Chains A and B, each alone.
Chain A
């Protein structure tokens, strides 16, 4: 989780990622951010997030994103 928060912070230092749960709905993250995050996750966690998982529910909060990473690495 710490690594993930670091990735996010680096992208948007001004956002409170611990508590925000409308990252997509409020347009905090745009499609370019999402791609960058996925690339980072791929190298940091060795988890490839497939396109079908790019839905608001998975990207609206850091928590949800972390849950997604866990789920994908468990499978």
Chain B
């Protein structure tokens, strides 16, 4: 009798949690088309670890460097842990988490995120956090990121957040419930389309150019974390024309890097040296680089990394070469596919791009 009751209770709990798990998988946004950025963070866990270089930051890192190019030119293995509008504490905690899996030689952080001292937008929080595996770092990152009305428990159980998607489920949600194909190249989000820069934006005047205390606090912690782990930290600002990078901001970063003995590279000053051509190398009129731009950046920056930190060329490691060959194959396949799509439609439909004749209004 007792045994029977016990078994019933166990069965009930199993069925219940099983259902909830399945529902959660079903209802969470899949981010496999259009807004693929939401899938960036989770791809890391499937990777072989042991990278030489880890990039952290916002879209400016995952659109400006191609790990495949770094490998092919310099035998450097790298991974980009970035997501859309990734805030500095999100980058910090992602780095903290990454260091549990591996110990790179160099960490590269893109400083644009310094502009945000406070959490910004729930949607971006979700894209940066939902993909992380459960860990203390994730919890801390959630606590640092929540805006008003957000609930911690809704990060622990995303079903509570996404339950209302039940009425807008698509076949995609069912197909990618458990497994998604790879979408990125070691954290690099490939875009082959081109939308040239037509006007160079000018920064609108700000009331205050001082980076916030909170932003500095996490930058300090990042510096400290790297020092403790004996990792070189490099600060960079990639050559995106917008959001505008103010001289006052530049001064603060230069000053910071100098005080902490860090390497800081502002690529906006190196556009010609790198060879970026804003008529060719951007897919959205200067906000983000496309694949040609990212490859140029990688060729340039790889040399800097190699020269400065003496990173070894690992192309002679047989197993590693084989693994990276597969990555490269995927890379070129996707490139071909995207060019084909571009030819067919005139724009990258599958990635949520708009037909060229329509003007972006955001």
A and B touch in the complex (CB under 8 A): no
Residues of A at the B interface (CB closer than 8 Å) are none
